[in-house]
């Protein structure tokens, strides 16, 4: 039982996957790019809930489950914790610390889509950086608003919305230029944490713009939690060394 199953879909998870040798498995939901240059195997698609994941852990003789999914991917994290208990396989998780508001920040915390739309009512030009969810609401844009939705991919622009297909990391200079050009008056964000998409918050601060921030979902406790990739990598190398595998 010396195989690792790494649940990913983030830049941090990809860094971990690059450390894994051919015995191990990197798993993706299938929404984004599938890397083709890893030494470990890559599988794509759901497991069929926590029961399916528990069955996979047993049938594939997995000895360690690592949850390095995005902090808002709450379902797969809950499934991972549940399946690890059911299968008796330890689960480690990367739990990126949330961003914290700094002096001068105007964050307006919301819990769901309805609260988010209410919080946006006073504004005209929101920048959405939440992923694909706003795409399902393009037909509901209030008459006084023009939306910019930044996500991995999406439909063509409409008269009421611009879809910016883009993948992080985003630089300060790039964000500064985008904000100046598009004259956003509010930013809509998840509290993803990490450095890859943090520049937008700094530019919002520079320009005195409010940020409507979707609260983080609760995540389950697991055997070991790590705040950063470097810390998890050290533990992973130690685990691989103890088991005499790469």
Binding site for ligand NAP (CB under 6 A): 7-10, 27-29, 31, 46-49, 52-53, 69-70, 72-76, 79, 131, 190
Beta carbon of residue 72, minimum distance to ligand NAP (angstroms, whole number) = 4
Residue partners of 17: CB distance under 8 A and separation at least 6? 6, 8, 26, 35, 38, 40, 42
Nearest to 209 by CA among 137, 82, 107: 107
Beta carbon nearer to ligand NAP, 49 or 174: 49
* CB-CB neighbours of 9 under 10 Å: 19
Report the nearest approach of ligand NAP to the CB of residue 49 (Å).
Answer: 4
CB-closest chain residue to ligand NAP: 46
Which bin fits 204, alpha (ψ -120 to 50), beta or left (φ > 0)? alpha
Q: Which two tokens stand for residue 99?
A: 């961003």
CB of 242 to ligand NAP, least distance (A): 25
Reported as half-sphere exposure (CB side, CA atoms, 13 A), residue 205 has a value of 12
User: Measured from the CB atom, is 75 or 145 closer to ligand NAP?
Assistant: 75
| Closest CB 144 distance from ligand NAP, rounded Å | 28
Nearer to ligand NAP, 8 or 134 (CB): 8
Q: Token pair 């439909």 is at which residue?
A: 155
C-beta of 24 vs 70, nearer to ligand NAP: 70
- Which CB sits closer to ligand NAP, 90 or 208? 90
**Closer residue to ligand NAP (CB): 28 or 93:** 28
Pick from 43, 40, 44: nearest CA to 30: 44
* Least distance CB 208 / ligand NAP (angstroms): 27
DSSP single-letter state for residue 128:
E
| 154 backbone dihedrals φ, ψ, rounded to 5° | -175, -175
Q: Cβ of residue 96: shortest distance to ligand NAP, in angstroms?
A: 11
């Amino acid at each position: 039982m010396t195989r690792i199953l790494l649940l990913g879909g983030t830049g941090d998870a990809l860094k971990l996957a690059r450390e894994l040798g051919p015995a191990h498995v990197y798993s993706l939901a299938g929404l984004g790019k599938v890397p083709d240059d890893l030494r470990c195997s890559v599988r794509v698609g759901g497991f069929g809930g926590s029961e399916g994941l528990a069955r996979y852990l047993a049938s594939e003789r997995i000895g360690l489950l690592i949850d390095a999914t995005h902090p808002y991917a709450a379902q797969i994290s809950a499934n991972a914790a549940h399946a690890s208990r059911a299968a008796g396989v330890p689960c480690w998780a990367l739990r990126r610390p949330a961003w914290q508001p700094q002096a001068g920040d105007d964050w307006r915390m919301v819990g769901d889509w309805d609260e988010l739309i209410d919080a946006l009512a006073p504004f005209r030009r929101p920048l959405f950086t939440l992923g694909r969810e706003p795409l399902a609401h393009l037909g509901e844009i209030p008459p006084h608003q023009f939306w910019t939705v930044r996500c991995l991919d999406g439909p063509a622009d409409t008269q009421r919305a611009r879809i910016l297909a883009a993948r992080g990391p985003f630089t300060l200079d790039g964000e500064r230029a985008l904000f100046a050009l598009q004259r956003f008056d509010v930013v809509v964000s998840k509290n993803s944490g990490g450095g890859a998409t943090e520049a937008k918050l700094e530019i919002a601060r520079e320009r005195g713009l409010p940020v409507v921030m979707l609260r983080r979902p609760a995540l389950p406790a697991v055997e070991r939690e790590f705040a950063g990739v470097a810390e998890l990598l050290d533990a992973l190398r130690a685990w691989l060394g103890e088991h005499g595998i790469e």
